[in-house]
Structure 1
Amino acid sequence: MSSVSTYTTRHFLGLKGVSAEEITSILDRAAYWEHNPSKVTNQLQGKFVSNLFFENSTRTRFSFELAQKRLGVDVLNFSAAESSVQKGESIYDTVRTLESMGIDAGVIRLKPNGVLQELAEKIKIPLINAGDGNNEHPTQALLDFYTMRKQFGSIKGLTVSIIGDILHSRVARSNLWGLIALGAKVQFCAPASMQAPELAEFAPYVTFEEALKADVVMMLRVQLERHDTGLLNSAEEYRAQYGLTVERASRMAAHAIIMHPAPVNRNVELDDELVEHEKSKIFTQIAHGVPIRMAVIERALS
């Protein structure tokens, strides 16, 4: 069995500042788990992990739970809608209470920015970021890297276009930091109202035509709930200007792939015919989420 690398911290909060060596170590370990024939192992039997989701999630939570159960972990699922948080209990008090009860780690998703970092400074058990505000979503980025590496053999030298609502996207940020560390070129494409100017020094904003020339075209979910804020006039207008249509996809390089963190708004950011097109790696990405999260959980508890 391959070894697990030693890290300076067992918290896993984001990819900003994380080295290529550490990212590669996680990807390598995920490859071990992907090819391990055992559906369930006793690797972490006797460990208790709580999934602390203060923001709604289906895909990420189920992926973490499958990863935990494959490792033999006892899982405690927490829903803010059914908890004392609705009665005014603070997020810190909730996590501290579960820590006091004896859980070994927490997988946490939060809406507000900055809270996760504050928790990590006060909580002794490892915390794993399952998405915090518009800050980071590191395990999503890791499964994206894993998908790219399997497709191309290496990430170094690739050009990756990330298209959509960069301003509010934690996926875009985690991908940016990790891809830069791994030696890829990142470029953004977004309407002016969805750009994050502070990221422009790390990745240029390009036209859609330029974005289509990349090795990887990564579409971001259009957050339709933000229509009321004036970011979007309509889903139809967004598709016309920034959606990956069948016609636009036909102009991509023969070797290039389409990615998306899911869920997909079909016929908005991506035409329906492209979701399961031969160029699309969307469901492959989803499948890679379990071994990636197994590697991250093991990292935290080993």
Structure 2
Amino acid sequence: MIRTQTAAERSLLGLKGMSKQEIEAILERASYWANYPVKVTGQLAGKFVANMFFENSTRTRFSFELAEKRLGAEVLNFSAAVSSVQKGESIYDTVRTLESMGIDAGIIRLKPVGVLQELAQKIRIPLINAGDGNNEHPTQALLDIYTMRQHFGEIQGLTVSIIGDIQHSRVARSNLWGLRTMGAEVQFCAPPQMMAQDLEGQIRYVSIEEALRADVVMLLRLQLERHETGMIKSAEEYREQYGLTAERAKLLKPHAIIMHPAPVNRNVEIDDEVVEHEQSRIFTQIANGVPIRMAVIERAVG
């Protein structure tokens, strides 16, 4: 007898605790969709998916919407800026309202950490985390892992350097959990004031010189909107000490690849001329986001 998965089992709240087999299944299904000969399918015809973004987003929201439409789902776009949230409605009541109207799955991005986990315990439809505070961004990490596997063939044994604002980065955390599960060594590089206190003892920090010797060099966006005053002196100083400048790019191993979750602050985390360097996979990452999210949405709606 085949057991039907619960909404909680079909949800994707984070990669921490997800098994290697589950991650590989998503990657394989994403590969299927990446090579699918027809752009729009009827795979999820008659299903309704709501994009509920309580925090601003461009790339992630468009990527999810494109993935939903390629699968043939009916798409509802929710923006907190023009919703009843502005009138005082809670996030729970908003999601519960859409659930009551009959949506089949919800994609959620929000600022507060922990709220998504609480919602998932109360809501009876699968939820997909599109970024919650500085906690996790699982689909970004999945597309990053997919991009690495696409280039190297496998993840096992790779050394991945993640450079930048670790403290505020949900991308760094999801990549840490996912890459470790897949057998990669993950090391961080960050200014002292941008190191993550909550990860102390679980991770290794290296110098920028050592970080550049990795197989994958991933730069993080300098999230100025999340910084307290005085956290950095200037963007120029950050670039000088931690940016992937054109000079530093010459130190990369010939087989290494450059990654960035985007949006990119050009000439801050990475020099303008390095963004589309022959070793850069930044726009490949963006392209890979659509099949990864197709796989995750299909898994959720089933």
- On whether the aligned pair clears a TM of 0.5, the verdict is yes
Instruction: Please tell me the residue identity of whatever aligns with 1:239.
Output: R
Measured against aligned partners, the alpha-carbon deviations of 1:206-249 in whole angstroms (never above 9, x if no partner) come to 00001001000000000122455321110001001111101111
Bigger Cα displacement from structure 2, 261-270 vs 224-233 = 224-233
**SS of match in other structure, 1:278:** coil
CA distance in 2: counterparts of 1:109 and 1:118, whole angstroms:
14
Distance 1:141 1:214, change over 3 A: same
In the other structure, the counterpart of 2:165 is 165
1:11 offset after TM fit, Å?
A: 1.1
In the other structure, the counterpart of 2:276 is 276
**SS of match in other structure, 2:9:** coil
**SS of match in other structure, 1:262:** coil
CA distance in 2: counterparts of 1:195 and 1:217, whole angstroms:
17
In the other structure, the counterpart of 2:118 is 118
CA distance in 2: counterparts of 1:243 and 1:301, whole angstroms:
41
CA distance in 2: counterparts of 1:6 and 1:158, whole angstroms:
33
Instruction: Please tell me the residue identity of whatever aligns with 1:294.
Output: M
Percent identity, aligned pairs only?
A: 76
Cα pair 1:227 1:233 within 8 Å, conserved: no
Cα pair 1:226 1:232 within 8 Å, conserved: no
Under a length normalisation based on structure 1, what TM-score does the superposition of the two structures give?
Answer: 0.97
**Structure 1 runs not aligned, ≥5 long:** none
CA distance in 1: counterparts of 2:69 and 2:158, whole angstroms:
34
Distance 1:6 1:181, change over 3 A: farther
In the other structure, the counterpart of 2:132 is 132
In the other structure, the counterpart of 2:213 is 213
In the other structure, the counterpart of 1:288 is 288
CA distance in 1: counterparts of 2:239 and 2:227, whole angstroms:
14
- Number of equivalenced pairs: 298
Bigger Cα displacement from structure 2, 192-201 vs 115-124 = 192-201
**Structure 2 runs not aligned, ≥5 long:** none
Cα pair 2:168 2:226 within 8 Å, conserved: no
1:80 offset after TM fit, Å?
A: 0.2
In the other structure, the counterpart of 1:90 is 90
CA distance in 1: counterparts of 2:95 and 2:33, whole angstroms:
29
In the other structure, the counterpart of 1:186 is 186
In the other structure, the counterpart of 1:264 is 264
CA distance in 1: counterparts of 2:214 and 2:201, whole angstroms:
19
CA distance in 1: counterparts of 2:42 and 2:188, whole angstroms:
43
1:200 offset after TM fit, Å?
A: 3.9
1:201 offset after TM fit, Å?
A: 2.8
1:261 offset after TM fit, Å?
A: 0.1
Distance 1:24 1:67, change over 3 A: same
